[in-house]
Structure 1
Amino acid sequence: MEDDRRDYRRIADRIADDIAAGRLKPGERLPPQRVFARRRGIAGSTAGRVYGELVRRGLVVGEVGRGTFVRAAPLPSGRALTEATATAPVNLELTYPSAPGQSELLAPALAPLLRPDVLTESLRTAPATGTAAAREAAAALLATPGWHPAPSRLTFAGNARQAIAAALASLVRPGGRVGTESLTYPLVKEIATRLGITLVPLPMDAEGLRPEAVTAAHRSAPLSAVYVQPTLHNPTSVTMSGPRRRQLAAVVRDLDLPVVEDRVWSFLHEGPPDPFGAYAPERTYVVDGLSKRVAPGLTAGFLVAPEGRVEQVAAALRSGAWTASRFALEAAVRWIADGTVDHLVRAKRADSAGRQRLVAEHLDGYPVHADPHGYYAWWELPFPWRADTFAGAAAERGIAITPGSAFTVAAAGTVPAVGARAPDVNAAGARAQDCVRLGLASTAPRDLAQALRALAGIACTRP
Structure 2
Amino acid sequence: MNPWLPDAAALSRPAYLSLAEQFAQAIQRGALATGERLLPQRQLADLLGLSLQTVSRAYEELGRRGLVAGQVGRGSFVLPAGAEPRAPYLAQRSREAVDLSILKPVTDQMHLDKMREGLGWLADNLPPPAALSFRVNSVLPAHHQVAANWLARGGIDVPPERIVITDGATPAITTAIMTAVPPGGTLAAPSLTHHLLFPLVRYLGLHLESLPLDDEGISPAGLDKLARRGNLHAVYLQPAGINPRAIVAGADHRAEIVAICRRHDLTIIENDMLNSIIVDRPPPYAALAPERVLHINGFTKTTLPGLRVAYLVVPERLATAASNRHLVTNWIATPVMVELLSHWILDGTISGLIDWQCKALAVRHRLAAELMSGLSVRTHPQALHLWVELPPNLAEDEFVTQAHKRGVAIASGRSFRPCDRPGGGAVRIALGAAGIDDLRRGLLLVRGMLNQTAEPMLPLI
User: TM-score category by the smaller chain?
Assistant: 0.7 to 0.9
**1:216 counterpart letter in structure 2:** K
Deviation at 1:120, TM superposition (A): 6.0
Instruction: Report the counterpart of residue 300 of structure 2 in structure 1.
Output: 291
Separation of aligned partners in 2, 1:121 and 1:374: 34
Range with greater deviation from structure 2 (364-373 or 110-119): 110-119
TM-score if structure 1 supplies the norm length? 0.76
Map of 2:261 onto structure 1:
252
Counterpart CA distance in 2 for 1:175 and 1:157 is: 25
Q: 2:133 aligns with which of 119, 124, 127?
A: 124
Alignment of 1:49-448 (within 5 A): 64-66=86-88, 82=94, 88-100=96-108, 101-115=110-124, 118=127, 121-127=130-136, 131-144=140-153, 146-321=155-330, 323-410=332-419, 416-419=420-423, 431=424, 434-448=425-439
Q: Residue 126 of structure 1 contacts residue 324 of structure 1 at CA under 8 Å; is this kept in 2? A: no
1:68 is displaced (CA, Å) by 8.1
Identity %: 28
What do residues 150-201 of structure 1 show as CA deviations (whole Å, max 9, x unaligned)? 2221111111111110011112123211011110010122221221122111
- Stretches of structure 1 that go unaligned for 5 or more consecutive residues are 1-24, 45-62, 70-80, 411-415, 420-430
Q: d(CA) in 1 for partners of 2:429 and 2:138? A: 36
In structure 2, C-alpha distance between the alignment counterparts of 1:311 and 1:256, rounded to whole Å: 19
Inter-CA distance 340–461: structure 2 relative to 1 (3 Å threshold): same
Q: Distance in 1 between matches of 2:126 and 2:306?
A: 24
**Residues 126 and 336, structure 2, Cα contact 8 Å, conserved in 1:** no
Distance 1:347 1:237, change over 3 A: same
Give CA-to-partner distance per residue, 1:269-294, whole Å, 9 cap, x none.
11333211111110000011122233
Contact 1:300 1:324 in 2 (8 A): yes
The Cα shift of 1:129 comes to 10
| Distance (whole Å) between structure 1 residues aligned to residue 97 and residue 89 of structure 2 | 16
Structure 1's 196 and 129: CA in aligned 2 closer, same or farther, altered over 3 A?
farther
Q: CA deviation at 1:37?
A: 8.2
Q: After the TM superposition, which parts of structure 1 deviate over 4 Å for at least 4 consecutive aligned residues?
A: 35-39
Q: Distance in 1 between matches of 2:137 and 2:102?
A: 29
Q: Kindly tell me: are residues 121 and 229 of structure 1, through their superposed partners in 2, closer, same or farther at Cα, counting changes over 3 Å?
A: closer
- In the TM superposition, 1:23-62 aligns within 5 A as 38=82
- The verdict on how the C-alpha distance between 1:129 and 1:235 changes in structure 2, with shifts beyond 3 A counting, is farther
Measure, in 2, the Cα distance between the counterparts of 1:215 and 1:372. Answer: 31
Alpha-carbon separation, structure 2, partners of 1:396 and 1:128: 52
CA distance in 1, matches of 2:122, 2:154: 33
Contact 1:155 / 1:302 at 8 angstroms: preserved in 2?
yes
For residue 372 of structure 1, give the secondary structure of its aligned residue in structure 2.
coil
**Could you say which residue in structure 1 is the equivalent of 2:16?**
none
Q: Using the alignment, how far apart are the partners of 2:202 and 2:104 within structure 1?
A: 24
2:324 and 2:215 mapped to 1: Cα distance? 38
Give the secondary structure class of the aligned counterpart of 2:294.
strand
Please say if residues 291 and 298 of structure 1, whose CA atoms lie closer than 8 Å, have aligned partners that are also in contact: yes
Measure the CA separation in 2 of the matches of 1:123 and 1:435.
49
What's the offset of the Cα at 1:371? 0.3
Task: Tell me if structure 2 keeps the 8 A contact 1:230–1:263.
Answer: yes
Q: Which residue does 1:13 correspond to in 2?
A: none
Residue type of the partner of 2:189? T
**How many Å separate the matches in 1 of 2:407 and 2:378?**
24
Q: 1:339 to 1:68 in 2, by over 3 A?
A: closer
Residue identity in the other structure for 1:418:
P
- Are the counterparts in 1 of residues 303 and 357 from structure 2 also a CA contact under 8 Å? no
Q: RMSD between aligned alpha carbons?
A: 2.9
8 Å CA contact retained: 2:241, 2:382? no
Question: Quick one: distance in 2 between partners of 1:137 and 1:178?
Answer: 32
Is the CA contact (8 Å cut-off) linking 1:129 and 1:156 kept in structure 2? no
- Residues of 1 paired with 2:89 and 2:104: CA distance? 18
Distance 1:166 1:273 in 2: 25
Consecutive unaligned residues in structure 2, runs of 5 or more: 1-70
Using the alignment, how far apart are the partners of 1:105 and 1:135 within structure 2? 23
Task: Kindly state the Cα deviation for residue 255 of structure 1 after the two structures are TM-superposed.
Answer: 0.4
Per-residue Cα deviation, 1:233-288 (whole angstroms, up to 9, x for no partner) = 42101111111111111110010111110000223211333211111110000011
Tell me the alpha carbon deviations over residues 381-418 of structure 1, each in whole angstroms, 9 at most, x when there is no partner. Answer: 134222112112101112111111110123xxxxx232
Q: Do the aligned residues in 2 keep the contact of 1:129 with 1:314 (CA within 8 Å)?
A: no
The equivalent residue for 1:450 is 441
Shift of 1:116: 8.2
Instruction: Tell me the TM-score normalized by structure 2.
Output: 0.76
Cα deviation digits, residues 284-330 of structure 1 (max 9, x gap): 00011122233333421210001132111010001112530111111
Question: Structure 1 residues 120 and 217 mapped into 2: Cα distance closer, same or farther (>3 Å)?
Answer: closer
Distance 2:369 2:408 in 1: 19
Q: How many residues align?
A: 381
- How far does residue 226 in structure 1 lie from its aligned partner after superposition? 0.7
Inter-partner Cα distance in structure 1 for 2:305 and 2:118 = 17
